[in-house]
């Protein structure tokens, strides 16, 4: 059945696409400045994707955590697969490996979070109510009697005329901060969000927890505690609790001492109790934080907590391979496909299972990228520019492998046309559409739109834009450096399924399987939709590799100026 899907899917690309004719009248990809017709469309094999996913998510790979035997098995497997497929080593040193130096830190709580105010003292339970860590490369880190301040959303956004800090000095203090962006009602229609502020309901980078820690550190805060709410965060507190296992960071010259001493999360109930100790009401403060007039609120409380670190340094690995371009004048330019090979390894048992297999996240993405790589070795004519397949490490630790490549690229970003990222695939069947995370960002949407039209499909914006997926996968590191990046997700309109099917399946995965040992290949997986999506991403990359000009960010995009400055050098 699965092999039959491959043939059916190729047929669905339309006779024109499979024969190499393009739907556009002039034979060019939309926005591409020219494209080469595909004379021989490779067949995509759903069974191959499934079998590779099963291999990578098997218990013997131990959840594929960096710095473990699971990494050794994963890297060896990927090198062997690249060789079997006939791809060249991706590194200029003749290997398939880019070393990624990491520091691994395991935090243990030596003094619980204690909050004092007047005659009142409350202690909050480690793991159950507070999850904290330090990125300092040091044996210990602590805050002692640090003044607590409620800092709203912890955002400084000049383009929105928004400053949660005003002129308040928070150096040495500990901030309590809300997650996500300020969800400001639209003055003309209070039932909706103001589209002029923070992209309405679509999370901006200001809403990400990583930004809030960065902003607090820039202002010299001793600690930052985020208030966890499942809706605004996009995941339950059990996911936050996963931070208690070993955490990684890139090795930096300052040993991360520029970061705040303590970073972490507290539950909503714990935050309510803290604020109540300070004579404040959480709901009232949250309402105030939705206005430009908000100012940080001192709570007249002092917080203390201490952490001890167990540390190790290690060399993790990005695994990369390439298909060299056919045009001698253009083969030194690249389209880069990415997928992260890592997951969470072995952790706290859930229903007796301690191996976090990461089948969907992201064994499925790696398996799909290998199938796309195979297609590039078989397509005719060969792409003019080179195609790089980059399997990155430590995505689950904060996009570290892709960050390392983006700041220390093997091939210059000035000669990198685009990044196409795969992080999880559609395991629930065919859809009439495909979701674009950050839709409208760049010309890559135009390439995708044309390819989707050949399948009789349409593009759809992210239905869960409030969860900030654009900032949660490896393409973001390329975008921050200015490289146009495309990241897609499962469509919403499942063929033969009711309208609520997509939301139901998404919620099931988020609530039951995301970052859980239960993220395993399920008996009811249907990869027919994954195959169609893989074909689209293949066609996009092929057309970009043959285009007359580089794809661009759309006018007004936050990364456009960075790209323009890069290409002028």
Angle at 157 between CA 153 and CA 163, to 5 degrees: 60
Lowest mean pLDDT among 26-40, 167-181, 224-238, 342-356: 26-40
Q: What percent of the chain has pLDDT over 70?
A: 94
Going 207 to 209 to 210 to 215, the CA torsion angle's sign is positive
Structure tokens at 242: 């996963």
Q: How confident is the model at residue 25 (pLDDT cuts 50, 70, 90)?
A: very low
Q: Is 505 helix (H, G, I), strand (E, B) or coil?
A: helix
**pLDDT tens for each residue of 2-20:** 333 343 334 334 333 333 3
**pLDDT tens for each residue of 298-333:** 999 999 999 999 999 999 999 999 999 999 999 999
Q: Distance between CA 278 and CA 300 in Å, rounded?
A: 6
Structure tokens at 94: 């003749």
Please list the residues that pair with 494 across neighbouring strands: 431
> Residue 556: what pLDDT?
82
**CATH number of this structure's domain 103-311:** 3.50.30.30
Q: Do residues 326 and 383 touch, judged by C-beta distance below 8 A?
A: yes
> Where is 304: in which H helix or E strand?
strand 297-323
- Write down the mean pLDDT value for the chain: 92
Structure tokens at 118: 């007047």
Nearest one of 260, 263, 206 to 240, comparing CA atoms: 263
Structure tokens at 111: 């003094």
- pTM here is 0.82
Q: In whole angstroms, what separates CA 503 from the centre of its chain?
A: 20
**Cβ-based neighbours of 519, under 8 Å, separated by 6 or more:** 57, 343, 356, 357, 358, 359, 360, 361, 513
Q: In whole angstroms, what separates CA 157 from the centre of its chain?
A: 22
> Residue 15: what pLDDT?
33
**Cβ-based neighbours of 86, under 8 Å, separated by 6 or more:** 377
Q: What is the DSSP string of 433-458?
A: EEEETTTTSBTHHHHHHHHHHHTT-E
Q: At residue 34, does pLDDT exceed 90?
A: no
Choosing among 3.40.630.10, 1.10.275.10, 3.60.20.10, 1.10.540.10, the CATH entry for 2-19+27-97+317-492+526-568 is: 3.40.630.10
Q: What percent of the chain has pLDDT over 90?
A: 82
**pLDDT tens for each residue of 249-283:** 998 889 999 999 999 999 999 999 999 999 999 99
**Cβ-based neighbours of 340, under 8 Å, separated by 6 or more:** 362, 365, 366, 391, 392, 393, 394, 395, 396, 401, 402, 423, 473, 474
Identify the DSSP state of 64.
Answer: G
> Residue 509: what pLDDT?
93
Mean pLDDT of 367-389: 97
Per-domain residue ranges of the chain:
2-19+27-97+317-492+526-568, 103-311
> Residue 35: what pLDDT?
58
Q: At residue 1, does pLDDT exceed 80?
A: no
> Residue 37: what pLDDT?
77
> Residue 543: what pLDDT?
98
Q: In whole angstroms, what separates CA 98 from the centre of its chain?
A: 20
CA distances from 391 to 23, 342, 400 (A): 33, 9, 12
Q: Distance between CA 368 and CA 428 in Å, rounded?
A: 15
Structure tokens at 117: 């105010």
Q: Do residues 105 and 309 touch, judged by C-beta distance below 8 A?
A: yes
> Residue 22: what pLDDT?
30
Side-chain-side CA neighbours of 88 within 13 Å: the count stands at 12
> Residue 12: what pLDDT?
39
2-19+27-97+317-492+526-568 matches 103-311 in fold: no
**pLDDT tens for each residue of 453-476:** 999 999 999 988 888 888 889 999
């Amino acid at each position: 059945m699965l092999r039959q899907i491959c043939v059916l899917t190729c047929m669905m690309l339309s006779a024109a696409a499979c024969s190499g004719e393009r739907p556009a009248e002039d034979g060019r990809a939309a926005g591409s400045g020219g494209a080469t017709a595909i004379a021989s469309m490779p067949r995509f094999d759903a069974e191959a994707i499934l079998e590779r996913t099963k291999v990578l998510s098997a218990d013997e790979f131990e959840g594929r955590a960096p710095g473990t035997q699971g990494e050794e098995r994963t890297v060896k497997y990927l090198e062997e697969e690249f060789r079997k497929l006939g791809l060249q080593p991706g590194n200029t040193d003749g290997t398939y490996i880019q070393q990624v130096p990491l520091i691994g830190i395991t935090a243990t709580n030596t003094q619980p979070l204690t909050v004092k105010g007047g005659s009142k003292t409350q202690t909050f339970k480690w793991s159950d109510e507070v999850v904290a860590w330090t990125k300092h490369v040091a044996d210990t880190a602590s805050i002692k009697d640090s003044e607590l301040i409620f800092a709203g959303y912890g955002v400084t956004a000049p383009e929105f005329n928004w400053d949660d800090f005003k002129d308040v000095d928070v150096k040495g203090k500990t901030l309590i901060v809300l997650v996500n962006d300020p969800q400001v009602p639209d003055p003309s229609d209070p039932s909706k969000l103001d589209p002029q502020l923070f992209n309405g309901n679509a999370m901006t980078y200001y809403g990400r927890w990583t930004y809030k820690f960065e902003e607090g550190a820039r202002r010299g805060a001793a600690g930052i505690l985020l208030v966890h709410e499942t809706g605004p965060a996009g995941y339950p507190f059990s996911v936050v609790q996963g931070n208690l296992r070993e955490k990684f960071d890139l090795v930096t010259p300052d040993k991360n001492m520029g970061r705040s001493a303590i970073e972490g999360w507290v539950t909503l109930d714990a935050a309510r109790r803290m604020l109540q100790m300070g004579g404040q009401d959480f709901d009232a403060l949250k309402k105030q934080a939705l206005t430009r007039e908000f100012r940080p609120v001192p709570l007249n409380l002092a917080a203390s907590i201490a952490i001890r670190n167990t540390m190790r340094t290690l060399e993790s690995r990005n695994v990369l391979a390439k298909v060299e371009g056919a045009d001698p004048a253009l083969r030194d330019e690249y389209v880069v496909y990415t997928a992260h090979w890592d997951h969470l390894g072995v952790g706290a048992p859930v229903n007796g299972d301690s191996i976090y297999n990461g089948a969907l996240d992201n064994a499925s993405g790696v398996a799909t990228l290998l199938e796309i790589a195979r297609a590039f070795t078989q397509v005719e004519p060969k792409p003019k520019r080179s195609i790089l397949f980059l399997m990155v490490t430590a995505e689950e630790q904060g996009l570290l492998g892709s960050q390392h490549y983006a700041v220390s690229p093997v091939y210059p970003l000035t000669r990198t046309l685009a990044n196409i990222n795969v992080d999880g695939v559609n395991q629930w069947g065919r859809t009439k559409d495909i979701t674009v995370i950050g839709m409208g960002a760049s010309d890559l949407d135009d390439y995708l739109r044309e390819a989707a039209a050949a399948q009789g499909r349409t593009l759809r914006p992210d239905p869960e834009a409030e969860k900030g997926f654009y900032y949660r996968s490896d393409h973001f590191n390329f975008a921050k450096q200015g490289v146009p990046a495309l990241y897609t997700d499962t469509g919403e309109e499942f063929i033969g399924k009711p309208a609520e099917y997509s939301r139901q399946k998404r919620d099931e995965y988020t609530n039951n399987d995301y970052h859980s040992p239960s993220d395993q290949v399920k008996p009811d997986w249907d990869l027919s939709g994954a195959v169609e999506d893989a074909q689209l991403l293949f066609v996009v990359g092929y057309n970009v590799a043959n285009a007359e000009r580089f794809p661009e960010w759309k006018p007004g995009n936050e990364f456009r100026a960075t790209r323009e400055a890069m290409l002028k050098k």
